[in-house]
Amino acid sequence: MRKKSFFICGTDTGVGKTFVTGVLAAGFKSQGVDVGVFKPLESGCKVKKQAGKNIYQRTDSAWLKKISGSNDPISLINPYAFRDPLAPAIAAKREKIFPSLSRIQKSYQKIKKNHEIVLIEAAGGLLVPVLGKKTNLDLIKTFKAPVILVARLGLGTINHTWLTYHHLISHKIKVAGIILNQTTKNCGLAEKTNPRVLKNLGFPILGQLPYSQNQSPQKLSQLFVRHLKKLKKLNF
């Protein structure tokens, strides 16, 4: 199988990018695909002091490693971790950390070499500053990977999805499709009507994931099979 990579980006913060990336990882793995995961920058990590050094607890990256079954070391999956729950570029500046795009690229190439498919998870939305003035859009151009856009169902998502999608298209970025993710247990009128509105507007909807507190590999792979049928055969 030809090696593939997808860049998972959100229309906003809190849309469930990590959860959706986990669903994709579990789903592809259940098909017998060797999955690699890559989260170049993770902020909001708890920090422990050990021998005078900061040890970062990479919650999201560690979870993706577990779900995907990847044997890659966590330092390769996530080259840069930061304490503050802020945009990576701002969090890095506060800690006087200077992330290198070269190191990120080298980490990605190593992971890509080891796996059939690589899921790259962004930190934040499309135009969040991640390396100095560089944004996730710049990382997408660097990796040359098609984007899977994650959007929530609630009020405001039509505007957020439209803006993000058309900004990607205007920069000639290939968008594999959009996954709608229910982030709250209860659905209001907006959550019930927005999916149909987005489909009628012509957005390439790959599927809609229901709210789920069960994040076991088995449950995630079931969600993939039941709700993301367009992705099952990797027909991109």
Contacts of 222 (CB under 8 A, 6+ apart): none
Specify whether 133 is catalytic.
no
Single-letter amino acid code for the residue at 14? G
Q: Which stretches within the chain are classed as H helix?
A: 17-30, 59-68, 74-77, 88-94, 101-114, 136-143, 157-170, 189-200, 217-227
- In degrees, rounded to 5, the angle at the alpha carbon of residue 58 between the alpha carbons of residues 222 and 139 is 80
Q: Which of 232, 223, 226, 234 is nearest to 23 (CA)?
A: 223
Q: Please state, in angstroms and rounded to a whole number, the distance separating the CA atoms of residues 132 and 134.
A: 6
Instruction: Report the 10 Å Cβ neighbour count for 65.
Output: 22
Q: Which of 39, 110, 133, 230 is catalytic?
A: 39
Catalytic residue numbers?
39
